[in-house]
Chain A
Amino acid sequence: MEIIASSLAAGLLFGMVLALVALGLTIIFGVMDIINFAHGEFLMIGMYTALLTAQALGIDPLLTLPLAALVGFLLGVACYKGFISYILRGPMIAQLLGTFGLMLLLRNIALLVFGSEDRAVHQGLLVNKSFDIGLGIIIPATKLAGAGLSVVAFVAVWLLMHKTRMGKALTATALNPQGARYMGISTEKMNALAWGIGAGTVTMAGALIVNFWPVNPYVGLLFTMIAFTIVALGGFGSVPGAFFAALVVGLITEIPGFWDFLTYTLEWDWMFDVPMTSFKYMWIYVAYFIIMVVRPRGLFGWKH
């Protein structure tokens, strides 16, 4: 019983962080129909920003969130102005490979600057502390704080998109770019804004994740694929969809560990050779494939 409860809790908490990771991707896709391979690389940059600032100033990584968001916003706008706006008109393959090139560029610059070794947060207000909330559920404080702050950031962005004038203009651009242009909305500005918000949220997520996940220049691809899966499940371009899909994906990442625990307790010897946790993330790709084939629009999708 306890294992089920703690698996559920861990999966949901991780899912909440993942929601913030996927938010940027779904906004960018919704506004301009472009798949961003460099998404995980933005996350990696957010992780390094938080880690290095925290180490240099001697403060807790959680306090560096605004800085990470700012770095991400500027990076996103710079990427859009300097590169993405040029490939938007090209054929789809040029867009895919172009953002892949961006990913390679960011990854290898990080490799050149930071080196290839793993780095992790060793000290902080919350590191190595945990709460026991009964039922045998023990939650690391870093994950709880990460999940909580993710939800706060997520709701803030959602409010920004639905309650402010600027956010409404952004939504209008997503729904119909040409119509939005006739209404006097500068779609070029909106695209840049979408990249700014998209990259800013994901670097923030990176600053949260670095508290419990070591960072190296290659960390991005896994999160890019996770974000693709979430966005596909939630429906491309859907913000609430991304949140619920992220919870589902968070739970999927916990299934293999739970399964292994089950095989050990029930002594199913034939399963011992290949523990499920050794292909923990494969199930995310499998989930993506099944979702796309069975329901291409996703759960809440409005773009197809």
Chain B
Amino acid sequence: MEALKNAFDFSDQPRLDMTIAGAVGTLFLIFPLLPLSAFALATMIQFFIFSLYGMGWNTIGGYGGQVDLGKAQYVGIGAYTTAVLLIRWDIPFWFSMPIGVVFAVTWSFIIGYPLFRLKGHYFAIATIATSLVLKDLFEVWEFVGAARGLEISPIEYVPPDFLRLIFKEDIYYYYVIFVFFLAGLLFLNWFRKSRLGYQLRAIKDNEDVARSLGINVHWAKIKTYAIATAYVSVVGSFHACYIKAIEPEDTMSLDISILIALMAMLGGAGSLWGPIIGAGILIPLKSYLKEWLGGMSGLAGMDLILYAVIIMVISAKEPRGVWGIVERIRRRKRT
């Protein structure tokens, strides 16, 4: 009960933030009812998916300061578990999603134990390496469709199927992922005020001091890594049902992992709203750039060039992200 109360308690946030959050939340709630294109709705779903990935990354990467660039492997585990169970044994989403989480968390413990002996750059590259190993394995594993991937054919089911999460219209998906989004936000709100959350911030500031205070640094990191993994895996399962065709290249590639970390950095790593702001900027930008420029002949890759320039400018000029700017303005006002 205490935990639940804590999750709903946003009283330490400034009133202005909560007003804005409430307004934006209301806008999200009525968004599908607005007369907008199907493309806008699909972009919004992508936004929710990636802000959830970003929230997961934020626990270990933002609060804990461990730069993890291998989150895509858990997207893959979640997505593949759901797809395989649905196609082979007709197990619905709500059962396969927890199974996927169990797989993902188990894998995160197996690799997390050795991984967290590493620090800094070494840790970051090792997470990339594990992710690429898993991707290579999935690309030759015949059981999960190898490089062709898997396809959930919607004809076999009668939409709307709430149990298997097979719908025809995006509006159903929108509200499902919106509920996930709210739940994820509440959990993150609880997490940052929990014992583990405080331990993690102590570790980020100074690992040796944290250890001398009696914090089991290694174990705290592994636990947080598992939480981050669970977030990503749940959304990966949703992704499988939403996209309906998954392959190693677009669920587990390095680009996905980088995008997740990038969004959190752009918004402001280690803050509650950071990943959401980051996703809110990057995802629409990315999909509209692709829509406008990607289709033009002779301009292949033009959208990605602009995207790369944006990444470079942010990391050079404002590495603390949008939230860093907000905090700086506030500090100036106070003094």
Contacts and interface: CB of A to CB of B under 8 A. Distances in A.
A is bound by B = yes
Interface of A: 33, 35, 83, 86-87, 90-98, 100-105, 107-109, 111-112, 115-116, 217, 221, 225, 228-229, 232, 273-274, 278-279, 281-282, 285-286, 288-289, 292-293, 296
B132 A225 contact: yes
A97 B128 contact: no
> Which of B262, B307, B308 has the most A CB atoms < 10 Å from its CB?
B308
7 contacts: A90-B319, A94-B315, A100-B262, A101-B310, A108-B305, A289-B126, A289-B129
Contact of A281 (B136, B302, B307): B136
Nearest to B146: A278
Contacts of A229: 129
Interface in B273-316: 299-302, 304-305, 307-312, 314-316
Contact of A101 (B67, B130, B136, B315): B315
A35 B125 contact: yes
B85 interface: no
A257 B8 CA distance: 58
A93 B269 contact: yes
Contacts of A35: 121, 124-125
Interface stretch (B37-45, B112-120, B162-170, B185-193): B112-120
Contacts of B300: 111-112, 115-116
A101 B307 CA distance: 8
B265 interface: yes
Interface string B51-92: 000000000010000010100000000000000000000000
Contacts of B309: 101, 105
Contacts of A92: 67, 120-121, 124
A104 B136 contact: no
Contacts of B133: 282, 285-286, 289
Interface of B: 61, 67, 69, 114-115, 117-118, 120-122, 124-126, 128-130, 132-133, 136-137, 139-140, 142, 254, 258, 261-262, 265, 269, 299-302, 304-305, 307-312, 314-317, 319-320
Contacts of A221: 254
Contact of B261 (A87, A93, A102, A103): A93
Contacts of A286: 129, 133
A286 B320 CA distance: 33
B265 A97 contact: yes
Say what secondary structure dominates the interface of chain A.
Answer: helix
Say what secondary structure dominates the interface of chain B.
Answer: helix
B241 to A, nearest CB: 29
B319 A96 contact: no
A97 B311 CA distance: 7
A91 B269 CA distance: 11
Nearest to A281: B136
The 8 closest A-B CB pairs, nearest first, are A101-B311, A94-B319, A98-B315, A108-B301, A104-B308, A105-B308, A86-B316, A111-B301
B312 A228 contact: no
A94 B305 CA distance: 18
A111 B319 CA distance: 28
Contacts of B139: 279
